Amino acid sequence: MESLESLFRSFETGIRSAKALKPTAYLKSLGLDYSELRIGFNSGQFHHRKPQQMKDAYERLGLLTKSEAAVRDESMTAYTVFGRYGLIFPLLGRDNSIVNFFALRFDLDTPREDYLNSQGIYPGWPHPLTKRLYIVPSVIDCATLLQSRALDQREAVIALHNRELLPQHIEAIKALHGLEAILIIKR
């Protein structure tokens, strides 16, 4: 079965595609650079030409949901795709493996933010020797702060999950042995 890590690598390839003009223009409007941050683009086609067992695995992960949409061939199944035509950011578990995706679907009338599940931390678990931790409301705020290069060596930033502090955030904070300050940035 394909892991979230290998699927994300395909999204990273997607953002670098010559056809990804709208996603790269949107990133530029946000002041974010996919060559400096781990950002991908999900065109919604990752399941095309895959065997049914792979599609079933994607469905179990929540990446695909069966749809009632019309299909040209009765033997085919229509799917709704998580984060379709969206920018994808990886959330990491304690072991630095990808356990979740954040999707910013920018090409809708109103941009929409979705999480695949409630696991992980963006951009990842802070180093245990972090002295100053910034907590920001969203993945985009976090990516913006990272992109700014304003953080010193022993500083870290983490994004809330739908603007909520979850148990994994608390666990990560408790693991910071050198923590001197927590700065919460609100919008």
The model's pLDDT over 113-171, given as tens digits with 9 standing for 90+, comes to 999 999 999 999 999 999 999 999 999 999 999 999 999 989 999 999 999 999 999 99
Residues paired with 87 in a beta bridge: 41, 104
CB 57 within 8 A of CB 48: no
Q: Whose CA is closest to 67, among 51, 58, 78, 56?
A: 78
CB 90 within 8 A of CB 80: no
User: Which stretches of the chain are assigned E, i.e. beta strand?
Assistant: 40-42, 64-67, 78-81, 86-92, 98-105, 112-115, 132-136, 155-159, 181-184
Token pair belonging to 63: 């990446």
**Where are the chain's structural domains?**
4-115, 132-184
For every residue of 21-66, which 3-state class applies, written as one string? HHHHHHHHHHCCCCCCCCCEEECCCCCCCCCHHHHHHHHHHCCEEE
The model's pLDDT over 28-59, given as tens digits with 9 standing for 90+, comes to 999 999 999 999 999 888 787 777 888 888 88
**pTM for the predicted model, two decimal places:** 0.91
For 4-115, CATH number out of 3.40.50.300, 3.30.70.3270, 3.40.50.10470, 3.90.980.10 equals 3.90.980.10
Token pair belonging to 29: 């409007």
